[in-house]
A = this chain, B = another copy of it.
Amino acid sequence: MEISFKETNKRMARFEKAIRQAGVKVTIQRLEIFRVIASSIDHPDVETVYERVRERLPTVSLDTVYRTMWMLLDLGLISTLGASRDRTRFDANMENHHHFVCSRCGLTRDFYSEELDGIKIPESVKDFGSIEKAHLEVVGVCKQCAAKPNPKAQEEDTS
């Protein structure tokens, strides 16, 4: 919660348009679930969204929240923090470095940049707390995945 009325409404409008375009039904559950995530600044998990939706829609199931969040993700209306639905991954490189991550297969590689290490972080960030470190996450499609057909291509070329 805490996003401005104006911004929330803009997001709701985008939602209605996208959901109709996708040809899926506009249910009260989907409306309320999206309203919750669209008005949240805290990047909530499914359980938190569930609790907030229940305030207005006490009979909603956790299950429906899960399904709706993944649907919103597919529609490009929301995103996940870090790599979604994955196992914890580890790194023994403790030098200051950055990552390239493939959005299809999760391939992750290190890269270095002196320029990046020296970037200025806006002063306003200090209002959130003290800063320990910063690292850039570059998301793209690795060469191997680029060579394969994208499994997410729903329309067209199914001939």
- Give A contacts to B, CB under 8 Å: 11, 34, 37-38, 40-47, 49, 69, 72-73, 76-92, 94, 99-100, 102-103, 107-113, 115-116, 119-122, 124-125, 128-143, 145-146
Interchain Cβ contacts under 8 Å between A and B, 26 examples: A11-B92, A38-B92, A42-B107, A42-B109, A43-B91, A45-B90, A46-B88, A69-B90, A73-B90, A78-B90, A78-B91, A79-B90, A79-B91, A81-B89, A84-B88, A102-B128, A111-B122, A115-B119, A115-B120, A121-B136, A129-B141, A132-B141, A133-B138, A134-B137, A134-B139, A135-B136
Q: Which 10 A-B pairs have the closest CB atoms?
A: A82-B82, A129-B142, A45-B87, A131-B140, A43-B108, A100-B128, A81-B89, A134-B138, A38-B92, A37-B92
Indicate the member of A86, A119, A129 with the most B CB atoms within 10 Å. A129
Chain A interface, >50% SS class: mixed
Q: A124-B111, A131-B140 are in contact. Are A80 and B91 (CB under 8 A)?
A: yes
Say whether B134 contacts A43, CB under 8 Å: no
Closest to A83 in B: B82
Residues of B within 8 A of A116 (CB): 119
With a 10 A CB-CB cut-off, give which of A86, A100, A119, A141 has the most chain B CB atoms: A100
Using known A-B contacts A83-B82, A120-B115, determine if residue A92 contacts B128 with beta carbons closer than 8 Å. no
B130 touches A141 (CB 8 A): yes
